Structure 1
Amino acid sequence: MDIDMSRRNKKPRLLLESERERLDEFIDSIHYSARYSDDQFEYRHVQLPKNMLKKIPADYFDSSKGTLKLLWEEEWRALGITQSSNFTDGQSLGWEHYEVHEPEPHILLFKQSGASCMKFRQGI
């Protein structure tokens, strides 16, 4: 399940301060699913408030699909996605945005592999 790099911006496009401020009201309403895994990856989905999509800059979107592009880590973090409710546990590292749920474009799918995934499976 490789990332289709053509579905991303060529390089991370960071938000301007004014763009970031428009998104602040939505940060506390971002919903994180429970984590789930298979033999290779740990997964979770992140549900953005639907109204938040209207405030995200147009160049974060794939105009051919009508969904967000696959976001670089710097981009999804700039939107306020943290992956962890406990900011001191280091669990937010290693996540990659690999897909958008097209029927519900406010749902972003993430995965991680390697040591982070092993810690999750072992309950560490």
Structure 2
Amino acid sequence: MRRTADVSVDLSLVLYPPPHSTRHWRVSSSPAKLLPKNRLLSESEWRAIGVQQSRGWVHYAIHRPEPHIMLFRRPLNTQQ
């Protein structure tokens, strides 16, 4: 995967459901074409396409109707 700046935040921080914080990222069309359709990305992979966020976030789900939206979560007690 190639590093690009075409990633934008769609919805920042949402506390749902406890005990996790979740974050949704909308990926622009160029890097979205690079996203695998059948598996989650490792931290090094999502960072390589330009997603920037603090440590502790995990790509936990693929939203099948809109695969360009990446869903992340981390435990609520994680330090910033």
TM-score (norm 2): 0.80
Structure 2, unaligned runs of 5 or more: none
Residue 35 (1) aligns with residue 13 (2): yes
Residues in 2 aligned to 1:42 and 1:114: alpha-carbon distance in whole angstroms: 6
**Of residues 18, 22, 28 in structure 2, which corresponds to 1:49?**
28
CA separation in 1, counterparts of 2:43 and 2:57?
A: 8
CA contact (8 A) 2:31 2:49 kept: no
Query: Greater relative contact order (Cα 8 A, min sep 6): structure 1 or 2?
Result: 2
Of residues 39, 56, 66, the one that matches 1:94 is 56
Q: Residues 53 and 29 of structure 1: is their aligned pair in 2 closer, same or farther, counting only changes over 3 Å?
A: closer
**Identity, % of aligned positions:** 34
Give the TM-score of the pair, scaled to structure 1: 0.55
| Count of aligned positions | 79
Q: Which has the higher strand share?
A: 2
Bigger helix fraction: 1
Which protein shows a greater Rg? 1
Separation in structure 2 between the aligned mates of residue 39 and residue 53 of structure 1, nearest angstrom:
29
